[in-house]
């Protein structure tokens, strides 16, 4: 669904931010993009979303070269879920979700019954229909994030780009969002998510892409890519990947070693 080939970007000549980035996301697959602050993750997302034009390389969406697509066509192939944030205007939840239908509006046109049905279907899929007439500003952080996911689903794109979807959420809401992401993947959505929590790669993802200094340091399954050695190198701080035995299964966890020099 998403194929990135040797992607390059720089703000100033001879100071590249992205250096020959290559990886792909398949249908029904969740890829987790990990890396420290300032490593180029946000710039990469901006290039994928068409907000910045790559200086080199290519991005293919569903087999189509992104540089040849209009903004509307890109929006029908790929939807973006930002970090949850407040809005200046008191929009109702259903109005927020309806914004996902902009790519289907004709110039000066009004929303149709098909748009309203897409909104209802998206909210029903996430079980948030009861929030339809609530003000977005009054919702909890977890509820806001679910609304932003619903807006992306109303866009009816099969590829979702999620920027730290669990940022600033408590454990309960983090689990809810990760379960939702896994559920959407099982329905055939391709998902690329960024995270500052390496554990999320084990909890929800099929692949992990570790980025540092504008390069892909390592990629593969979480078991292959997310190791004590790779995380220690990625974050330049000692990290141990260990196993925890729960009531249900063994799970891998990432532990920063505060006592190490």
Say what the pLDDT of residue 13 is.
80
Residue 252: name the closest of 231, 233, 238 by CA.
231
Helix (H) or strand (E) holding 65: strand 64-65
Instruction: Give me the residues of the chain with pLDDT under 70, please.
Output: 85-86, 88, 260-261
Say what the pLDDT of residue 167 is.
87
Say what the pLDDT of residue 108 is.
74
158: helix, strand or coil: coil
Pairing of strands 78-81, 159-162: parallel
Query: Which tens digit of pLDDT belongs to each residue from 139-186?
Result: 988 899 999 999 999 999 999 999 999 888 888 889 899 999 999 999
Say what the pLDDT of residue 245 is.
83
Spatial distance between the Cα atoms of 16 and 55, rounded to a whole number of angstroms: 10
Say what the pLDDT of residue 85 is.
67
Domain 2-221 sits in CATH at: 3.40.50.300
Say what the pLDDT of residue 212 is.
95
Reported pTM: 0.92
Spatial distance between the Cα atoms of 50 and 233, rounded to a whole number of angstroms: 31
Say what the pLDDT of residue 261 is.
65
Say what the pLDDT of residue 14 is.
79
Residues contacting 48, CB < 8 A, separation 6+: 2, 4, 59, 66, 78, 161, 192
């Amino acid at each position: 669904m998403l194929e990135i080939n040797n992607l390059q970007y720089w703000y100033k000549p001879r100071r590249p931010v992205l250096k020959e980035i290559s990886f792909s996301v398949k249908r029904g697959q969740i890829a987790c993009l990990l890396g420290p602050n300032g490593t180029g993750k946000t710039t990469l997302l901006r290039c994928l979303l068409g907000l910045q034009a790559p200086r080199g390389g290519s991005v293919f969406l569903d087999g189509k070269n992104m540089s040849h697509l209009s903004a509307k066509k890109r929006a029908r192939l790929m939807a973006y879920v930002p970090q949850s944030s407040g809005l200046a205007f008191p929009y109702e939840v259903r109005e927020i979700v309806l914004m996902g239908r902009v790519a289907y509006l004709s110039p000066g046109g009004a929303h149709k019954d098909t748009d309203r049905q897409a909104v209802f279907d998206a909210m029903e899929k996430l079980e948030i229909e009861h929030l339809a007439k609530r003000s977005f500003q009054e919702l909890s952080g977890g509820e806001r994030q679910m609304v932003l996911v619903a807006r992306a689903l109303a866009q009816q794109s099969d590829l979702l780009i999620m920027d730290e979807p669990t940022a600033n959420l408590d454990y309960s809401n983090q689990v809810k969002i990760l379960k939702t992401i896994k559920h959407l993947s099982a329905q055939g959505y391709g998902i690329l998510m960024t995270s500052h929590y390496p554990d999320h790669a084990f909890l929800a993802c099929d692949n992990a892409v570790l980025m540092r200094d504008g390069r892909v340091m390592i990629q593969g399954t979480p078991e292959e890519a997310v190791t004590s050695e790779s995380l220690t190198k990625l974050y330049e701080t000692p990290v141990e990947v260990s196993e925890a035995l729960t009531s249900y299964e063994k799970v891998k966890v990432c532990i920063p070693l505060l006592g190490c020099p």
